[in-house]
Amino acid sequence: MSTPNDPRFNQPNPDPGQPGPNYQSSPPQGYGPPQGPGYPGQGPQPGYGTPQPPYGGQPGPSPQDPYAAQPGYAPQDPYGGQPGYDPYGMPQQPAPKKNLPLIIAGVVVAVLVIGVGIAFAMGAFSPKKKDSASQGSTPAGAPSPGGESSAGGEEDSQAPAGKPETPKAAVEAYLNAVAKGDAKAALAVVDSSTIRDDSLLTDEVLKDSLSRTPITDIKVFEPEGSEYSPTVKVSYKLGDEVVEDEYQIMGKDNQIFSPMLGLSLHSVHKLKPLVNGVEAKTDRPDVFPGSYVVTSSNEYLEVEVDRGEFPLLMKHSKDYDLPYLKVKVSQAGIDLYREKVVPEAKACLASPNLDPGCDMAMSDTLQDGEKLTDGTIERNASAEAMSQLENVEPEAGIEVPTIISSRQFGYFTIKADCTDANGNSGRCSVIGGPGSMWSTASIDLTDPELKVTWKKR
């Protein structure tokens, strides 16, 4: 169609530097009037056909020819569908209308065909597989039971699976797990960096404790203090005793900070003791609240509580007044010691020699110069002394508890034939000097032969 020769349509832009509107195609009737010329840069209105770029439109007519046609400029009818004018001002017939409804219908059908094809490709119309694991789950985009929706790829506001949502929930989970003997569940809410030795944090150790002193009547109170490291107070019964304690919570995962007690085994650690039947790795293992019995792995030794008795009740997470443990020789160890040592001691008493054994050799010359005759030595112990020897009770070593020893065998006297410097002979009493007292008799319980070792004081 030619450009109408009407000043109303071919006025130059108010500003020659601004581009003119893009009038390449007329919108279909029914879409409202399009923008007329003279408003360069105005954005498209909704539903008015092809949007106009704010700055990149067709250039306006040259200012040298105010009536020149704009390139690509199809006539716009500012009066809603009146016919245009030819170059001589004569009215011309409107352009034949295109068959717009048929075009639109064709496009719609094409879109539907493509959509159905994509749906088949994605399996939308195939039979759904039954998935027993998904039964009862919340559909994507549907509200969760708590009213929250997980649609749209947004992060779930709830805590990660297995993590307590609140400090109170963390402490409840911890104490309930301990009460059930579930060490793994209890440790799941504990800050692992605060655990030094976890060798006793096991189901086996916990269940042995609960068999003597169950944990019941658990009460957990609301958090107090800082929002970032609150304190949660608790009370519970350990056996028949009511325990009150408090736990500190650290971090966004609501982990309990250092709730464990350290069981001091320093004084008995070299014995490799068993705690509730399990050997500890170190001399201060961590333990859950509960009751603990420390035993020896050696049948000849046992562990006892200084000024107390077993079981030990480990209650408060900040209780540092722990009992002192010590090693003592068991009755089996006492019997073993007497069996090995007493016969050797009696043989030494009965020997007439200057060196009777038992590391009690005597010198043949006394301090005043008298000479003792070997083979004439007589060592005598009173009945009381013999009873002390026969009922001796050894002690475990302080540095090496597996070495048991004693020298408490009673007092004995010594007589021998002697000759003085002048050649006079007679019977002498020997008081003091080497061999006049018992040496220490020891047995190393780690020695397969369990030999007796005698050593002077």
Q: What pLDDT does residue 217 have?
A: 98
> Where is pLDDT greater, at 391 or 260?
391
Q: 167-329 belongs to which CATH class?
A: alpha beta
Classify 418 as helix, strand or coil. strand
How many whole angstroms separate alpha carbon 234 and alpha carbon 63?
A: 91
pLDDT category at 115 given cuts 50, 70, 90 is low
pLDDT band at 99 (very low <50, low <70, confident <90, very high): low
Residues 6+ apart with CB under 8 A from 378: 352, 414, 415, 416
Q: Give me the mean pLDDT over the 149-160 stretch.
A: 35
Tokens of 153: 């790829």
pLDDT at 23 over 70: no
Range with lowest mean pLDDT among 123-137, 255-269, 365-379: 123-137
Residue pair 381/365 in contact (Cβ under 8 Å)? The answer is no
For residue 144, what are the contacts with CB-CB under 8 A and spacing of at least 6?
138, 150
45 contact partners, CB below 8 Å, separation of at least 6: 32, 35
Instruction: Determine phi and psi for 371, rounding to 5 degrees.
Output: -100, 135
Amino acid in the structure at residue 394: P
Cβ-based neighbours of 53, under 8 Å, separated by 6 or more? 22
Pairing of the two strands 290-292 and 371-372: unpaired
Residue ranges per structural domain of the chain: 1-91, 167-329, 332-455
Contact call for residues 277 and 257 (beta carbons, < 8 A): no
Instruction: Work out the average pLDDT over 334-347.
Output: 98
How confident is the model at residue 117, as a pLDDT?
54
User: Would you call 285 exposed, middle or buried from its count of C-beta atoms within 10 A (0-12, 13-18, 19+)?
Assistant: buried
For the stretch 399-412, pLDDT in tens is 899 999 999 999 99
Per-residue model confidence as pLDDT tens digits over 180-201? 999 999 999 999 999 999 999 9
Instruction: Name the least confident of 12-16, 249-253, 421-425.
Output: 12-16
Residue 3, pLDDT > 50, answer no
Asked if pLDDT for residue 30 goes beyond 60, the answer is: no
Mean pLDDT across the chain, nearest whole number? 76
Of 351 and 44, the structure prediction assigns the larger pLDDT to 351
H or E segment at 350?
helix 331-350
Q: Each residue of 199-220: pLDDT tens digit?
A: 999 999 999 999 999 999 999 9
User: Does residue 59 or residue 163 have the better pLDDT?
Assistant: 163
Q: Do residues 449 and 397 lie in contact, with contact meaning Cβ atoms separated by under 8 Å?
A: no
Listing DSSP states for 120-186 in one string gives HHTTTTSPPPP-GGGTTPPPTTSBPTTS-B-GGGPPPSSPPTTS-SSHHHHHHHHHHHHHHT-HHHH
| Three-class SS state of 417 | strand
Is the Cβ–Cβ distance between 420 and 370 less than 8 Å? yes
**How far is residue 164's CA from residue 293's CA, in Å, rounded to a whole number?**
32
* CA atoms within 13 A of residue 32's CA, in its CB half-sphere: 8
18 has a pLDDT exceeding 70: no
